[in-house]
Structure 1
Amino acid sequence: MDLTMHSSVVVLGGGPGGYAAAFLAADEGLEVTIVEAEPRLGGTCLLRGCIPSKALLHVAKVISEVEELKKDWGIEYEGAPKINVDTVRARKEKVISNLTGGLANLAKRRGVKIIQARGSFVGSNELKLEGDHDSIPEDGKLTFDHCVLATGSVPAMPPSFDIGSDRLMDSTGALNLADIPETLLVIGGGYIGLEMGTVYANLGSKVSVVELAEGLLPGADRDLVKPLAKRVDTMCGGRVYLNTKVGSVCEVDDQIEVTFEGPNKFGHERFDRVLVSVGRRPVTRGLGLENTKVVVNSRGFVECDNQQRTADPSIFAIGDVAGDPMLAHKATHEGRVAAEVIAGKKVSFDKIAIPAVVFTDPEIAWAGITEEEAKREGRKVTVEVYPWAASGRAQALNLTNGLTKWLVDPETNRVVGCGIVGTGAGELIAEAVLAIEMGCEVTDITESVHPHPTLSETLMNAGEVYFGTATEIFKPKKKAASA
């Protein structure tokens, strides 16, 4: 008698893409099993990424706002805030626990089986399961009709930085919040490094940032980055080193000694802790993919089409393993596409605008085509900017360093891109995503009544700038083209 366990659909990985695929497949009436090495569902995003970092960023934001009240509004508090690291860490863990517990309950109610194991392919329709959890079948095998590969990504760690010291951290180590170091160096000026640098700076660390490129957040439009770069420079006390390479790192006397090679920073300096944040790599190694027909490209991503199908008819790929951008919300939508395709529906992943958000202070968000992309591709767009200094709501909140901009196709008047920098940008960008996906023209934005006074008005106002009709700023109307 064959005792090998079989499931119609197996999802390898229990992150945002994985559990979204599993839950929708179950809702479609399919038999579903999630294979996840962690004891809890949620993946990187929930366990050691998006959610815990945003919980800590909330703490940092409140501390920053209290300081602003003291400085600019005449509100007086006695003494400096005292940070109880154990309580902060416990609160962060409570948020994670609440959410993972909810996922486990949802899986149970949907009849989704969860196997806690490390899964690897022995063929196109079979996984080998490793671990010691009692959910693993006795023979350690799981066969399937379809598998959704959702193994995500891990922090990249250059071999020269991997010195075996817990004082040299990746993003996971930084989120563990072992202590508040007196000095912290962030290697990498991308969104993860800047977010975690913001957390530690507001908790009391003396933070420095080193970036190999000529500016922070490479790839984002410079006008969006400028207000943040100014804030980061102030936060770090001028210790932001651009165009600078880290030559070597080593542990010396309970500190990390770092060698710098750059125009404004050269030589050695020691730090209590160092955060290495130089990107992420997809988890495709060690999965036995060579035993399937799945194709992995030179960057480690699985090649798949817009229905998330790989070169192996039985295997789909979603999320970080399926290519850039490595974003949880992209993974979720791809997971749902894969589930519906497996269920026999004619769907595809055809999103025009996948929003990106940097949860720093100020936040940066964009969707659709960026100004940098338009320049590279030689695409003609009209860029219209509305400065938050003209917004009554921004003035009341002392948030005048923000801006909202639309990128418009001048031939059709359709909005094709949007960028926002300022508090709440991550919330505001959703309107732009909908507008771009719906193929809205600028008038669809300007003729929609926005509540006053709000920051959401700046989306309408930026559209009015396009026509030269913005009330709070003066920009002459465009002249009609001569016959």
Structure 2
Amino acid sequence: MTLSTTYDAIVIGGGPGGYVAAIRAAQLGLKTLCVEREYLGGVCLNWGCIPTKALISTAKLADSVRHAGRMGVIAPEVRVDVPQMQQFKAGVVKQLTGGVASLLKSNGVDVVMGEARFVSPTLITATTADGEDTFAARRGIVVSTGASTVRIPGFEHDGEVVLSAREAVELQAAPGHLFILGGGVIGMEIGMLYQKLGSRVTVVELADRLLAGVDPEAVRLIEANFKRRGGEVLTSTKALGCERRGNLAVVTVEQGGTRREIEADRVMVAVGFRPNSAGFGLEELGVHLSPKGHILTDDRMQTNVPGIYAIGDVSGTPYLAHKASKEGEIAAEVIAGRPSRRDWRALPSAFFTDPEVAVSGLTEDEARAQGLDIRVGKFPFSASGRAMALGETEGFVKVIADATTDHLLGVSIVGPDASDLISEATAAIELVGRAEDLALTIHPHPTLPESLMEAAMNAHGQAIHIVNRRQERA
């Protein structure tokens, strides 16, 4: 092998973690290379976060117009042109992925589209359409190879009837009946999206509830919404196999010892992800992996092998783009010699179901499971003037605080714009704020964030716009 170029830092993977790591390294004066095997932007920009939200936004808009009669907006024949909706989504993706390429270039990052493989802790090969090149890294190599969808025996993807989420966001027509295997975030987001486009949806989940890890009160609200739209939920149910019959699929499921067959136009498998850590030389270098295949790192994103770092999905859950991006910044800064480390107090997450859910810090159940003495405040959107004006009054804000110190431990939100509202809560937790701090912060009226203030006040029995269960004097 002939050495092509030597860099200060090499990043393997151009997703939300990888491209951020490469840009940050270049900003810090490091000569940087990013190697991507498929497409810049990774899963998030190409068929995950961004495409699904573009489709969800379109479907929500159409659904809102259909039900706007009570607000005086009459549009009896709302129709969604699904191919045109897909073109809109594709335009969003093209603009964002093109933006990533432009940012890498403008920051001086070299990009190679190819398959990377380790030769040593400081040397990789990159196989491209033109052959194989080798590259060396003086200071560090960052692995940001993400994760892939889990395949289930008996549900082999054919891209036509049995789909992964990747194919599900490319459909040119809403299925008559969509069967979803997996009641997690991806399954429920896409299921509720296609409900709004007219599909009948069945969700099968092996666990005893949907959306594991989400506040149970929020889950009950989402499930009720899903069923009200004609959806079927089968929890504690095992999917045994799928058989093609013409253009349809027949799925056999078992619940409580009873088997039944469910016929569907499309089947989407959404049972989770596995890390992309195998097959490119980590094993030969002795990089330590978890039993599930995640690359083990310390809080500076370093592996046990000096000079090799790992970030994002490949280094562990939760699988969140913003977690990968932050870890990318940390890895780049460590390689550049800065005292950076993973030290956040709260990592927010947002789920674009109907209604939206967002969580930061501990949920109420998690806090109680840890044996913490907590104070809980809650404010329903049904008491929010802004939510009423929007016609979106489902849901609530829940604040969890330490009963002794009043420090914020977590916030859960289900309802309108939950994904936007959670950032204020995350900042408050990160700054070691108290529920009282949130309660004393003046919020503009009428707005949805007032509900955070009222929930924090309710934790002390002092909310103004609801009846408090517990009254305490200041």
Normalized against structure 2, the TM-score is what?
A: 0.96
CA contact (8 A) 2:372 2:402 kept: no
- Structure 1 distance, partners of 2:53, 2:420, is 14
For structure 1, which segment, 176-185 or 270-279, has the greater mean C-alpha deviation from structure 2 after superposition?
176-185
2:271 maps to 1:282? no
Residue 226 of structure 1: SS of its match in structure 2? helix
For structure 1, which segment, 456-465 or 155-164, has the greater mean C-alpha deviation from structure 2 after superposition?
155-164
Among candidates 106, 117, 122, match of residue 120 of structure 1: 117
Q: What's the counterpart of residue 202 of structure 1?
A: 196
- Structure 1 distance, partners of 2:88, 2:215, is 35
What does 1:398-437 correspond to in 2, within 5 Å?
398-437=391-430
> Judging changes above 3 Å, is the alpha-carbon distance between structure 1 residues 130 and 341 closer, same or farther for their aligned structure 2 residues?
same
> Judging changes above 3 Å, is the alpha-carbon distance between structure 1 residues 278 and 476 closer, same or farther for their aligned structure 2 residues?
closer
Among candidates 351, 354, 358, match of residue 358 of structure 1: 351
2:228 maps to 1:234? yes
Among candidates 71, 89, 92, match of residue 86 of structure 2: 89
- Structure 2 distance, partners of 1:238, 1:196, is 12
Residue 86 of structure 1: SS of its match in structure 2? helix
CA contact (8 A) 1:241 1:264 kept: no
Amino acid at match of 1:342: I
CA contact (8 A) 2:462 2:472 kept: no
- Structure 2 distance, partners of 1:265, 1:167, is 25
Q: CA deviation at 1:3?
A: 4.1
- Structure 2 distance, partners of 1:92, 1:26, is 31
Q: CA deviation at 1:479?
A: 5.1
Q: What's the counterpart of residue 62 of structure 1?
A: 61
- Structure 1 distance, partners of 2:469, 2:218, is 24
Unaligned runs of 5+ in 1: none
Among candidates 373, 377, 395, match of residue 370 of structure 2: 377
Residue 19 of structure 1: SS of its match in structure 2? helix
- Structure 2 distance, partners of 1:398, 1:83, is 22
- Structure 1 distance, partners of 2:132, 2:261, is 55
Q: What's the counterpart of residue 213 of structure 1?
A: 207
Amino acid at match of 2:464: T
Q: What's the counterpart of residue 292 of structure 1?
A: 285
Amino acid at match of 1:272: D
Deviations 1:2-52 (A, max 9, x none): 5432221110000011011100100000000000012x4100000110000
Q: What's the counterpart of residue 183 of structure 2?
A: 189
Amino acid at match of 1:185: F
- Structure 2 distance, partners of 1:409, 1:245, is 40
Deviations 1:166-192 (A, max 9, x none): 311111011112432111111111110
Amino acid at match of 1:403: F
Q: CA deviation at 1:305?
A: 0.3
User: Where in structure 1 do 4 or more consecutive aligned residues deviate above 4 Å?
Assistant: 476-481
Amino acid at match of 1:46: L
> Judging changes above 3 Å, is the alpha-carbon distance between structure 1 residues 479 and 200 closer, same or farther for their aligned structure 2 residues?
closer
CA contact (8 A) 2:373 2:404 kept: no
Q: What's the counterpart of residue 156 of structure 2?
A: 162
Among candidates 101, 110, 120, match of residue 98 of structure 2: 101
For structure 1, which segment, 103-112 or 82-91, has the greater mean C-alpha deviation from structure 2 after superposition?
82-91
Q: What's the counterpart of residue 10 of structure 2?
A: 10
Residue 169 of structure 2: SS of its match in structure 1? helix
For structure 1, which segment, 371-380 or 1-10, has the greater mean C-alpha deviation from structure 2 after superposition?
1-10
Deviations 1:250-289 (A, max 9, x none): 2111111100111598411211101111111111111211
For structure 1, which segment, 2-11 or 141-150, has the greater mean C-alpha deviation from structure 2 after superposition?
2-11
CA contact (8 A) 1:220 1:372 kept: no
For structure 1, which segment, 48-57 or 439-448, has the greater mean C-alpha deviation from structure 2 after superposition?
439-448
**Percent identity over paired residues:** 39
Residue 413 of structure 2: SS of its match in structure 1? strand
- Structure 2 distance, partners of 1:352, 1:461, is 23
- Structure 2 distance, partners of 1:205, 1:286, is 39
Residue 215 of structure 1: SS of its match in structure 2? coil
Residue 89 of structure 1: SS of its match in structure 2? helix
Residue 346 of structure 2: SS of its match in structure 1? coil
Among candidates 71, 80, 83, match of residue 73 of structure 1: 71
Residue 360 of structure 2: SS of its match in structure 1? strand
2:58 maps to 1:27? no
Amino acid at match of 1:420: I
Q: What's the counterpart of residue 36 of structure 1?
A: 36
Residue 261 of structure 1: SS of its match in structure 2? strand
Normalized against structure 1, the TM-score is what?
A: 0.94
Q: CA deviation at 1:248?
A: 1.0
- Structure 1 distance, partners of 2:257, 2:221, is 21
> Judging changes above 3 Å, is the alpha-carbon distance between structure 1 residues 78 and 147 closer, same or farther for their aligned structure 2 residues?
same
What does 1:300-379 correspond to in 2, within 5 Å?
300-379=293-372
Residue 467 of structure 1: SS of its match in structure 2? coil
Q: CA deviation at 1:292?
A: 1.5
- Structure 2 distance, partners of 1:45, 1:377, is 33
Unaligned runs of 5+ in 2: none
- Structure 2 distance, partners of 1:95, 1:238, is 29
- Structure 2 distance, partners of 1:378, 1:108, is 51
Among candidates 141, 145, 148, match of residue 151 of structure 1: 145
- Structure 1 distance, partners of 2:241, 2:464, is 55
> Judging changes above 3 Å, is the alpha-carbon distance between structure 1 residues 323 and 3 closer, same or farther for their aligned structure 2 residues?
closer
Q: CA deviation at 1:402?
A: 1.0
- Structure 1 distance, partners of 2:142, 2:406, is 40
For structure 1, which segment, 347-356 or 172-181, has the greater mean C-alpha deviation from structure 2 after superposition?
172-181
- Structure 2 distance, partners of 1:58, 1:163, is 27
- Structure 1 distance, partners of 2:103, 2:302, is 26
- Structure 2 distance, partners of 1:262, 1:384, is 37
Amino acid at match of 2:430: E
How many residues are treated as equivalent by the alignment? 473
Q: CA deviation at 1:239?
A: 1.4
2:390 maps to 1:386? no
Q: CA deviation at 1:361?
A: 1.4
- Structure 2 distance, partners of 1:297, 1:440, is 34
